[in-house]
Amino acid sequence: MQFTVKLEESDKGGYTVQCLELPAAISEGETKEDALENIKGAIQLVPEV
């Protein structure tokens, strides 16, 4: 399954990423690559509705 994510640079450094289809799935990372890898785990932790 594919999801759309929103990646933003944080004011404090690093990146924040949120899954648009699952708003509860939010993650962070020091680099874009880290943030995108971390969101995969966050998506898996959100219970299906």
| pLDDT average per 10 residues of sequence, the chain (49 residues) | 95 96 96 98 85
Cβ neighbours of residue 21 under 8 Å, at least 6 residues apart? 3, 4
* CA 15/CA 48 separation, integer angstroms: 25
User: What pTM value is reported for the model?
Assistant: 0.84
Structure confidence at residue 48 (pLDDT)? 67
* CA 21/CA 11 separation, integer angstroms: 24
- For residue 22, what are the CA distances in angstroms to 13, 29, 35? 24, 18, 16
